[in-house]
Chain A
């Protein structure tokens, strides 16, 4: 079965650079979520989109922005990178089933290292 695809798997950037992370949800999934997981930490919710509109916002820095496109893929744009942005970034997708969502299915993540 198709899974959530994230690219790239690994990314190394320097401080103050920008980075773009991409997420391709499972086919027919209409909701995308972004999570940040620091070393030894639990995943922290950043932002989510439903039908290309932002549906919820968590602890996402103002330096970060995201969007969902017409084909439902999503991109997380990160500017003015800081050392503390080094983390594993997960994308997850789900599908509305009536009034509720199917469980979140996660990608394998993008490991971002800022030097």
Chain B
């Protein structure tokens, strides 16, 4: 079984400040990890993914995340927040089992960006 835990249901940062959204995973086999963003009344958009290889992955809109096996973490960061980054962010995990595997989502973190 796999799961992800997102610490902090709400995060507020000032425009231009560092964004850090935390995600820890639990998995019995090597996981694939993802971050999705959801704007109001819209679907989930893939920000970035970790499958194998480089542990620091870069995504769209200036976001990046680092897979740390020793800490079972996959935190999402962005050096400088923009007002347009305000949205709900979901961390998700799927199992690297070689079969079509569903995504399991965390409970989400709502990012607020203030002036």
Task: Enumerate chain A interface residues (CB-CB to B < 8 A).
Answer: 4, 31, 33, 41-43, 45, 48, 50, 55-56, 58, 90, 92, 94, 96, 99-101, 103-109, 111
Contacts and interface: CB of A to CB of B under 8 A. Distances in A.
Contacts of B104: 45
Contacts of A48: 100, 102
Q: Which residue among A96, A106, A109 has the maximum number of chain B CB atoms within 10 Å of its CB?
A: A106
A96 B100 contact: yes
A56 B100 contact: yes
Interface residues of B, number: 25
Contacts of B42: 108-109
15 contacts: A42-B108, A43-B105, A48-B102, A90-B43, A99-B98, A100-B96, A101-B94, A101-B101, A104-B46, A104-B103, A105-B46, A106-B36, A106-B45, A108-B42, A111-B41
Contacts, number: 57
Given A42-B107, A103-B49, A56 B101 contact: yes
A41 B98 CA distance: 29
Contacts of A107: 43
Given A42-B107, A103-B49, A106-B43, A58 B102 contact: yes
